[in-house]
Structure 1
Amino acid sequence: MTDRLLSFVQHPLGRRLARALNLPQPVTLARRQDAWTDKELAGRTVLAIAPASTAPMPSLLAAIVAEGGSSSGDAPVQSLIVDATGCRDVAALHALFEQAQHAVARLAPRGRVLALTSSGVTSAAEAACLQAVQGFIRALAKEIGRRGATANALVLQEGAASATALAGALRFFATDRSAYVSGQVLAWRKEPDPSTAASIDATDRVRVALITGAAGGIGAATARRLALDGWRVLGIDVPAARAPLEGLAREIGGALLAADLTAPGALDELIDAVRRLGGIDLLVHNAGITRDRTLARMSVAEWDAVMAVNLAAVLAIDARLDEAGLLNAGAREVCLSSISGIAGNAGQTNYSASKAALIGYAAARAAAMDAIGGTINAVAPGFIETAMTRRMPVMVREAGRRLNALKQGGTPGDVAEAIAFLASPGARALTGQVLRVCGQSLLGA
């Protein structure tokens, strides 16, 4: 689907006209949506600063070097890393202001800012100042979004600042793989003991990913993206989508199951298919429907249909997989939520409730996944250019595109890249979290 305003303002005359009419002037985003490489920062100019400290933490510098980042004098900065773990008093916040102001002036268009802060505090004053860093980053993200740039923050838990853990964070948040992720603050835990999750990161066997709702949009983009990283994909969708599902399976060399997961016997078919593949290493709950109507006008059938697909099917699938022991050691799970589940949306009490439920589910199920060395997270897309948004009224669609810091919609590939990150070895430190892929949507910001 073409964003005509985005295309229009790429031309100098269109840009001048948009400026004269005070229209948004979105910048074409720099995206990476290929297979993971050994050195994700290779070729990027990286600047690391540490307000209130003499130098950035050694593990951070080691991670930057390991990922191939380089520093080049006064060249424009493509990745700015802010070690704000020392910002524990008002004077340190002043240093953050001064150093970040200077560094952001050097930030290249479409640049990336990643701040690292801490969860370990000894006083209310320290807690206040560390929380201030989060507000600072969210506000900065809104300022630099007009340049196609992003800013995010990670709250490091005790023991989470190892070079390997920070390298995992840099691979996504400091590169163009996170092009439509901005203004987010996530808890980054200490990496679990590798001995408890020795399976999916091994290279001596084919990893298996199950994706529901795989026939189109975000599901198909995710299947294609995971295939680039060598995953064997089992795509599931309703029988009516068999033709595109078969085409996708042929394209990526995957397996398929055409079944309505809310129908009797469908879960038995799913379990049989998973057994034949030797269990699941990645489970992506992507299937979802909408039946939009105000609460006063919503029918029982419209409420029940959304709950059946968006929530009950997720709970039932997980219960059956757990019972059968078909989630392999170290498995990852991703639930597709929505910013509607965070901020709510008029006419979507059913959809918003179901998507909010998945956020609570991911947070609560994290302990059970940790027991098998795995993780679970929710991904909350904002306005993504799909067949669903194409059916929106024109003015509603335009508002959805512009109500974020980047002033444009995202693509299914943006969501797929976030899922590929959560499935990667570098994301073991992230669990029970909500990763918003929304361009810092102003809804629920």
Structure 2
Amino acid sequence: MTDKYMQFANSTLGSKLVGLVGLPRPPVLERYRPDVKAPLIKGSIVLGSAGNGRLLEAVVGVLAAIKANVLAHGEAPDWIGAANQAGLMTGRFVPPARGGKQGERIKALVFDASRINESSQLVALHRFFHDTVRSLDRCGRVIILGRPPESCSTPRQITAQRALEGMTRSLGKEIRRGCTAQLVYVAEGAEGNIESTLRFLLSPRSAYVSAQVVRIAGNATPFPVADWLQPLAGQTALVTGVSRGIGASIAEVLARDGAKVICVDVPQAEAELAAVARKLDGIALPLDVTAADAPQKMVAAAQAQGGIDIIVHNAGITRDKTIANMKQELWDLVINVNLSAQERINDALLAAEAIKRNGRIVCVSSISGIAGNLGQTNYAVSKAGVIGMVNSMSVSPLLRERGITINAVAPGFIETQMTDAIPFTIRTAARLMNSMNQGGQPIDVAETIAWFACPASTGISGNVVRVCGQSLIGA
């Protein structure tokens, strides 16, 4: 699906006209292209910290692995020693003079705030970003690293670490030009699990993800990835709702990353389903997820492949009416497809041990499940329930014992056949109500799911990440 306003606003004539009348000009986002050989991040990274950051060593290790060109801000005292130990070439960041020559454009800013233990120390955020943010290039990346407030030892440390969320969300709205800002809370002992998250958030794969808070737990052993271009090699994924749109894109990205994909959709869409599976050298499984025998058929399909490593619950429907005008059958149908079916399928797969150890369960929620939406009580209830399911199952002893993680994506306005049917004026308004001033693409949801599905995403469980370009709705 295309955004005609975006195309017009970025044309030679259109850019002049929208500037004259004061309309936003949506940036053209950089997205990952597997056919183009390029470094994970094209440009320099400036690294900073509040005092001797506790996460510096782990961060430096990842930056060395991706062969990043790194500059250090003046207030990162441990930087040189950490860089030398990792064999990473480094230099110092020199802030551009006000009103003078701009200097080098920077592609990412990474700040270790894990040493901030009280509110007076938050000034380190001002010093770092005041010096660096003007140098951030188009489609740049900002990552702030901290400790989960719920695991902090003192009330003042909790206060200071929770304050990082306000900084992150405000930066996301200030930096614009396709740039993103994220906060990653890394628990004590989870330092070795940050690589997949940093790779995702620094790369073009996270183009439409901004102002999100990610938690990495400390109770999981890091899982190595042999080839980061195909991190899912040798794995099997089962994806529901695959015949078109977001589901087709999810299947394509997982297959691109090396997975064998079992593609599931309703029998009515069997022709489209078969076409997607054939294209990906996958397996087509025509199946209504609400059917009484659906869980056991999925168990059988998984066991036929020796078990699955990944299940993505993407199948979903809408049946919109205000609650006063909604018949119960519409309520029941949406709850059953979007929520109850996922519960039954999870129960069956786990009981049969059809999801392998270190497996991944990924669910698709929605911004409607976070903020609600007019005329969508049934849909909002189902998608909020998905979030509840992720929260509750992530602390399940069964999942923890087997090393299985569960997370969810919550898409905002994504350009699909469904949204293309929305009236033009409403559709245009929805596109502009976020920091990117545009709708997302199905691949943005798929890339986020692939990050959750990665074997190295150990310790990432119970997260709900919005793929919405920092939507104003529910912010």
TM (norm. structure 2) is 0.87
1:64-213 → structure 2 map (5 Å cutoff): 64-71=63-70, 74-119=103-148, 120-145=151-176, 147-162=177-192, 165-190=193-218, 192-193=220-221, 206-213=234-241
SS of residue in 1 equivalent to 2:25: coil
* Deviation of 1:53 (Å): 4.0
SS of residue in 1 equivalent to 2:386: helix
Amino acid at match of 2:69: S
Task: Name the CA distance, whole Å, in 2 between partners of 1:125 and 1:430.
Answer: 26
The question of whether the paired residues in 1 share the 8 Å contact of 2:267 and 2:286 is answered with: yes
Task: Name the CA distance, whole Å, in 1 between partners of 2:388 and 2:302.
Answer: 26
The question of whether the paired residues in 2 share the 8 Å contact of 1:379 and 1:437 is answered with: yes
* Deviation of 1:8 (Å): 1.3
Residues 385, 281 of structure 1: alpha-carbon distance in 2 compared, 3 angstrom cutoff: same
The question of whether the paired residues in 2 share the 8 Å contact of 1:159 and 1:190 is answered with: yes
1:27-426 → structure 2 map (5 Å cutoff): 27-34=27-34, 41=40, 43-53=42-52, 57-71=56-70, 74-119=103-148, 120-145=151-176, 147-162=177-192, 165-190=193-218, 192-193=220-221, 206-366=234-394, 367=396, 368-426=398-456
Amino acid at match of 1:144: I
SS of residue in 2 equivalent to 1:122: coil
SS of residue in 1 equivalent to 2:324: coil
The question of whether the paired residues in 2 share the 8 Å contact of 1:79 and 1:175 is answered with: no
Q: Identify the residue that residue 11 of structure 1 maps to in structure 2.
A: 11
Amino acid at match of 2:365: S
Task: Name the CA distance, whole Å, in 1 between partners of 2:390 and 2:111.
Answer: 29
* Deviation of 1:298 (Å): 0.4
The question of whether the paired residues in 2 share the 8 Å contact of 1:64 and 1:167 is answered with: no
Residues 204, 388 of structure 1: alpha-carbon distance in 2 compared, 3 angstrom cutoff: closer
* Deviation of 1:308 (Å): 1.1
The question of whether the paired residues in 2 share the 8 Å contact of 1:261 and 1:313 is answered with: yes
Residues 318, 40 of structure 1: alpha-carbon distance in 2 compared, 3 angstrom cutoff: farther
SS of residue in 2 equivalent to 1:46: strand
**CA deviations over 1:318-359 (Å, ceiling 9, x no partner):** 111122221111110001000100000010000000000011
The question of whether the paired residues in 2 share the 8 Å contact of 1:209 and 1:280 is answered with: yes
Task: Name the CA distance, whole Å, in 1 between partners of 2:215 and 2:328.
Answer: 38
Amino acid at match of 2:40: L
Task: Name the CA distance, whole Å, in 1 between partners of 2:355 and 2:20.
Answer: 57
Residues 105, 143 of structure 1: alpha-carbon distance in 2 compared, 3 angstrom cutoff: same
Q: Identify the residue that residue 74 of structure 2 maps to in structure 1.
A: none
Amino acid at match of 1:240: Q
SS of residue in 1 equivalent to 2:70: coil
* Deviation of 1:270 (Å): 2.4
* Deviation of 1:273 (Å): 1.8
Task: Name the CA distance, whole Å, in 2 between partners of 1:298 and 1:227.
Answer: 39
Amino acid at match of 2:57: P
Q: Structure 1: state its 5+ residue gaps.
A: none
SS of residue in 2 equivalent to 1:88: coil
Residues 416, 33 of structure 1: alpha-carbon distance in 2 compared, 3 angstrom cutoff: farther
TM (norm. structure 1) is 0.93
SS of residue in 2 equivalent to 1:233: strand
* Deviation of 1:191 (Å): 5.7
Task: Name the CA distance, whole Å, in 1 between partners of 2:13 and 2:167.
Answer: 35
SS of residue in 1 equivalent to 2:46: strand
The question of whether the paired residues in 1 share the 8 Å contact of 2:233 and 2:257 is answered with: no
Higher mean displacement: 74-83 or 212-221: 74-83
Residues 334, 128 of structure 1: alpha-carbon distance in 2 compared, 3 angstrom cutoff: same
The question of whether the paired residues in 1 share the 8 Å contact of 2:267 and 2:287 is answered with: yes
Q: Identify the residue that residue 436 of structure 1 maps to in structure 2.
A: 466
